[in-house]
Structure 1
C-alpha cells in the first residue's frame, strides 16, 4: 500500500507531473525538457529527472556522445506512470482531496500560462455537462470514451498537428 501512495505522490508533484506529461508525448533530452518547460530551473530539472529515474517512472532510452559528453534521451515508462483502478480506489477520501487539489492547481497553472501568453482562445473552452445514465449506458459511455481517447491521444506530434490538452473530471452525483 505504501508503494501505491508513494507513486501518486511522485506523479502529482507539480514539476514531475509536467516532466512525465512531456515524456509521455515525446522522448527528450534534459536540454529538450528545459527548453519545453522554460520556467523550470536547470538544477530542478536534473534533480526531478533523477527522482523519476530512481523510481523507474522514466528511463534512459538512448545515450550518445555530444561534444565529449554523454547526452541521455529520456522516455516515460508508460506502464508505470498510470495509476491502476485498484490503486486509485485504495486511497482515502482525504488523499483524493489532496490529489485533486494538486491536479487542479496544475490545471490552473496550464490555463493561466495559456491565457496570459496567447492571444487566441478559439480552441480554449470549459463547461459542465450532466449525464443521466443507467448502469449499462454508463458502461457503454466509458468503453466508447476510452476508445475515442486512445484513438486520438495515440497520434504522434507532427508539424501539421496542434497540441490540445483535454482535462476530464467525472463526478458522480449522490441523490
Structure 2
C-alpha cells in the first residue's frame, strides 16, 4: 500500500485530485487539466505515484509508434472493501484519508473557481461539532442521515434542483486531560 508521504508534494496531490472520481486519464489529459505543471515534472510525479502504488496503469494503447498509458487511482484507495480497510496499517489509512480529502479540496476549488461564490445562497456548509455519544446513539444518528440521504438521492433532475455532494467524516475524539465519565 502507498504511504501518505508520497502525497505530500503539491503536484502529486493535484494529480490524485484529477483522478479522484474514478477518471482514467492519459498523462496528456492530466497535463491539460494541470496546464501550469511542466511536462517533465508531470511525468516524474506520475512515475513516483505509480511507484508508491497510489495510481496505477489502467490500460495502454498504441499511439504513433509508442505506447500511451492510461492512469487511475489504485482500486484499494478509490473504493476499499471492509476487509481491505481492516487490513490497513495506520500509515495506509492516512494515505487513504489523504486521497479522500484531496477530492474534497478539489471540489471546493472547482466551486470557488466557477464564479463568485455565495456560500449562503448556495447552502455551502462545512463545520466541526464535538459531542458525546454512545455507539448505539451514533448508529441511530447515522441511520437517520443515511435515510434522509437515500430519500434525496431518489430526486430526479429539475429546474429548481442542482447537483450537490455531501461529504462526512465521523471519528472518535480524545480530549487531552478529560476523563471519560
Normalised to the residue count of structure 1, the TM-score between the two structures is: 0.59
The change in CA–CA distance for 1:142 and 1:117 in structure 2 (over 3 A counts) is same
- Residues 59 and 71, structure 2, Cα contact 8 Å, conserved in 1: yes
The 2-side partners of 1:133 and 1:46 are apart by 48
Q: Alpha-carbon deviations, 1:16-60, whole Å to 9, x = none?
A: 223223323211111111222334332221111101112232221
Deviation, structure 1 residue 113: 6.9
Alpha-carbon distance in structure 1 between the residues aligned to 2:113 and 2:47: 31
The reply on whether 1:44 has 2:45 as its aligned counterpart is: no
Structure showing greater Rg: 2
Does 2:19 correspond to 1:18? no
Structure whose residues are more often helix by fraction: 1
Asked if structure 2 preserves the Cα contact closer than 8 Å seen for 1:34 and 1:45, the reply is yes
With over 3 angstroms needed to count, the CA separation of the structure-2 counterparts of 1:116 and 1:61, relative to structure 1, is closer
CA contact (8 A) 2:57 2:72 kept: yes
CA distance in 2, matches of 1:72, 1:90: 26
SS state of the match for residue 173, structure 2? coil
Aligned 8 A contact 2:13 2:102 in 1: no
Change (3 A) 1:146 1:51: farther
Corresponding residue for residue 125 of structure 1: 125
The number of aligned residues is: 153
Cα gap change, 1:162 to 1:18, in 2 (>3 Å): farther
2:31 aligned with 1:29:
no
CA RMSD of aligned residues (A): 4.4
Q: For the Cα contact (< 8 Å) 1:64–1:72, is it kept in 2?
A: yes
Distance 1:163 1:64, change over 3 A: farther
* Counterparts of 2:141 and 2:127, CA distance in 1: 18
Q: Which runs of 5+ in 2 are unaligned?
A: 154-161
Change (3 A) 1:55 1:169: same
Greater relative contact order: 1 or 2 (C-alpha under 8 angstroms, separation 6 or more)?
A: 2
In structure 1, list runs of 5 or more residues that go unmatched. 153-160
Q: Which residue number in structure 2 is paired with residue 88 of structure 1? A: 90
